[in-house]
Amino acid sequence: MKLTGAQILCESLLKEGVDTIFGYPGGQVLPLYHTLTQYPKLRHILVRHEQGAVHAADAYARVTGRVGVCFATSGPGATNLITGLANAYIDSVPMVAVTGQVPRAMIGRDAFQEADITGITIPITKHNYLVMDIGDLARTVKEAFYIAGTGRPGPVLIDLPRDIQQEATEFHYPARVNLPGYKPTLAGNPLQVKKAAKLLAEAKKPVLIAGHGVRISGAYHELKHLAETLQLPVITTLLGISAFPESHELSFGMMGMHGSAYANMAITGCDLIIAVGMRFDDRATGKIAAFAPHARVIHIDIDPAEIGKNVKVDVPIVGDVKTVLVELNKEISAKRHDEWLAQIRDWKRQYPSGFEIRESDSILPQYVIRKIWEVTKGDATVVTGVGQHQMFAAQHFFYDKPNSFITSGGLGTMGFELPAAFGAQTGLPGQTVWCIAGDGSFQMTVQELGTIRQENAPVKVAVINNGYLGMVRQWQELFYERNYSATPLWCPDFVRISEAYSIPAECVTKKTEVVPAINRAMAAQGPYIINFVVEPEENVYPMVPPGAGIDQILHEPRKEAS
């Protein structure tokens, strides 16, 4: 029996185990949307903007470990995916985006709503396809899912002309892919693994840095075994948060620009780094020339191009983090570093700033985050936007649950939080998802409240409202003589906005009301929004100034309680 292109796409998605699609219809995907109703197993969720679809698919993929899927129409629909594709690309999130395209005969003629989306997305997708022959469609979908979900994951875009959606042919879904140019290395080179074990055995002051790769690979157990056996202090990158339980005695928090002082000092003072599934981003390393000056470096990553890209590496190991750690764990034997750990703990006692909340009559943003952690007992998935609230959420919620911190790391996409929280909630029905939003970030995608309402997703939203674009204002305060150019931000009444979307909401201005409000949000059956009006000029500390070494730490100036 012959199937149309739209049917072939739907059948292929079912073969890939897809059950959820985030999307937005339009002229050039009408045949696909027409067909979608014949496939009740494919739950399509209508977002309010294509950017919402791509961020939702992104977070859905991050929490489930599956490939996230989104649909958009041609032209403006497709270009509205750009930010989300770039976000998923830099954070290595598996995703397949399907866009409609004008009919083949009209391609290249500047037809209505035509955009060269494959051309546009070359640098921000792992791979992309323009399907010009219906005979290629099933194979293309198979390849797209394989490429998106294997190796270093990433987004793959399939551009589908409207006439191909309508044309019909026999459907044969290929059993396997044949991509001679794409062969991710999974197992580490045994010699390199042995070399790494030897360096670890010799090191006096080693540090383990855990990155996003640990979470992507699901290597929590293997990482813990390695850290405990060798008594390695574990420090995470921003995206590595929730790769290792923060209540563990070997956990020393996050490194980098807003990392803990003691984590950064440990890295600066160590003699060996074992970097696991991380990419030495400048926000993590600070000035490269001053980064870990005494350390040899073991780097485990599935992407060979990440090794030696930013930091010189002594022992490179290309492979899947989990597979490599299993091998490495066979090569090591128990060791202690009491003196070194005591030194880091001493730094932790000396420089706890930023992780202590000082007294204040007004609401401090850190206080809100800490209370959400206390009320939920840490049993929540936290999704953030980008800015001060993101860093407070990284610092003041303690993540013990694997893979429970979802944030836009590499691209720093404001507006990520609301659609991503919705996507995460879709992937984790019945679990608590807290969206920590900034008042600026929240307003970039606030229309997704409509999606949350329509789907009745029980997302709890905490808007950390300081009336500023907080992180930019902080930089202006510290590095631009307090010239608050374009950072004071008028906000609408978020409670009334929420009410307009039929979502219960409240505004909290008193410290004593913070916990009761969080409790009310938790007790609510569906979504709930709290607008926390916080201290307007609170800053994120500790902070490493841009361009400085990570040991050049600005601590919070001691403020007297008034």
Partner 1 sequence: MASNKHTIVALVADRPGVLNRMASLFRRRGFNIDSIAVGHSETPHLSRMTIVAEGSDTQVEQIRKQVEKIVDVIRVQDISGLNIVSRELALIKVKSTPETRSEIMQIVDIFRAKIVDVSADSVMVEATGDEEKVDSLYNLLKPFGVKEISRTGRIAMARGDQGNRRDENEG
Assigned token pair, 186:
């999974």
Contacting residues for 48 by C-beta, under 8 A, at least 6 apart: 447, 448, 450, 451
Pairing of strands 68-72, 234-236: unpaired
| Residue 119: CB minimum distance to partner 1, A | 7
Which part of the chain contacts partner 1 (CB under 8 A), choosing from 120-128, 231-239, 451-459, 497-505?
120-128
Q: Which residue number, 142 or 299, has a Cβ lying nearer to partner 1? A: 299
| Residue 315: CB minimum distance to partner 1, A | 8
Does residue number 322 form part of the binding site for partner 1 (CB under 8 A)?
Answer: no
Task: Let me know: does 251 contact 234? Beta carbons within 8 Å.
Answer: yes
CA distance 413 to 55: 10
Assigned token pair, 393:
């959420």
Task: Select from 76, 108, 119, 293 the one that contacts partner 1 (CB under 8 A).
Answer: 119
Distance of CA 498 to the CA centre of its chain: 26
- Mark 132-161 with x for binding to partner 1 (rule: CB under 8 A) and - for no binding: ---------------x--------------
| Residue 490: CB minimum distance to partner 1, A | 38
| Residue 179: CB minimum distance to partner 1, A | 6
| Residue 212: CB minimum distance to partner 1, A | 17
Q: Which residue number, 302 or 437, has a Cβ lying nearer to partner 1? A: 302
Helix axes 50-64, 417-427, angle to 10 degrees: 50
CA distance 518 to 375: 7
Contacting residues for 361 by C-beta, under 8 A, at least 6 apart: 511, 562
| Residue 548: CB minimum distance to partner 1, A | 24
- 542 cis-preceded (ω within 30 degrees of 0): yes
Contacting residues for 520 by C-beta, under 8 A, at least 6 apart: 506, 528
How many separate helices (H) and strands (E) can be counted in the chain?
Answer: 23, 20
Does residue number 205 form part of the binding site for partner 1 (CB under 8 A)?
Answer: no
Task: Select from 299, 322, 337, 389 the one that contacts partner 1 (CB under 8 A).
Answer: 299
Does residue number 313 form part of the binding site for partner 1 (CB under 8 A)?
Answer: yes
| Residue 239: CB minimum distance to partner 1, A | 20
Task: Select from 305, 350, 359, 537 the one that contacts partner 1 (CB under 8 A).
Answer: 305
Task: Let me know: does 78 contact 114? Beta carbons within 8 Å.
Answer: no
| Residue 153: CB minimum distance to partner 1, A | 13
Q: Which residue number, 314 or 477, has a Cβ lying nearer to partner 1? A: 314
Structure letter (DSSP) for residue 493: -
Does residue number 316 form part of the binding site for partner 1 (CB under 8 A)?
Answer: yes
Assigned token pair, 297:
């470096």
| Residue 136: CB minimum distance to partner 1, A | 11
Task: Select from 64, 189, 362, 447 the one that contacts partner 1 (CB under 8 A).
Answer: 189
| Residue 177: CB minimum distance to partner 1, A | 11
Does residue number 176 form part of the binding site for partner 1 (CB under 8 A)?
Answer: no
Q: Which residue number, 97 or 147, has a Cβ lying nearer to partner 1? A: 147
Q: Which residue number, 185 or 229, has a Cβ lying nearer to partner 1? A: 185
Task: Select from 105, 170, 179, 361 the one that contacts partner 1 (CB under 8 A).
Answer: 179
Task: Select from 12, 87, 192, 251 the one that contacts partner 1 (CB under 8 A).
Answer: 192
Contacting residues for 295 by C-beta, under 8 A, at least 6 apart: 207, 267, 270, 271, 272, 273
Assigned token pair, 34:
């027409």
CA distance 182 to 18: 23
Does residue number 303 form part of the binding site for partner 1 (CB under 8 A)?
Answer: yes
Assigned token pair, 551:
């040991």
| Phi, psi angles (nearest 5°) of residue 69 | -125, 135
For every residue of 202-215, DSSP letters joined together read H-SSEEEEE-HHHH
Does residue number 181 form part of the binding site for partner 1 (CB under 8 A)?
Answer: yes
Strand partners, 68: 95
| Residue 110: CB minimum distance to partner 1, A | 19
Contacting residues for 537 by C-beta, under 8 A, at least 6 apart: 466, 468, 473, 477
Which part of the chain contacts partner 1 (CB under 8 A), choosing from 219-227, 244-252, 309-317, 536-544?
309-317
Distance of CA 72 to the CA centre of its chain: 22
CA distance 95 to 73: 17
CA distance 208 to 251: 10
Task: Select from 62, 126, 337, 371 the one that contacts partner 1 (CB under 8 A).
Answer: 126
Task: Select from 118, 264, 443, 531 the one that contacts partner 1 (CB under 8 A).
Answer: 118
Which part of the chain contacts partner 1 (CB under 8 A), choosing from 114-122, 411-419, 475-483, 553-561?
114-122
**Binders of partner 1: how many residues, by CB under 8 A?**
27
Which part of the chain contacts partner 1 (CB under 8 A), choosing from 297-305, 332-340, 436-444, 543-551?
297-305
Which part of the chain contacts partner 1 (CB under 8 A), choosing from 19-27, 123-131, 277-285, 444-452?
123-131
Give residues in contact with partner 1 (CB under 8 A): 118-119, 122-123, 126-127, 130, 147, 179-182, 185, 188-189, 192, 299, 303-305, 307-309, 313, 316, 318-319
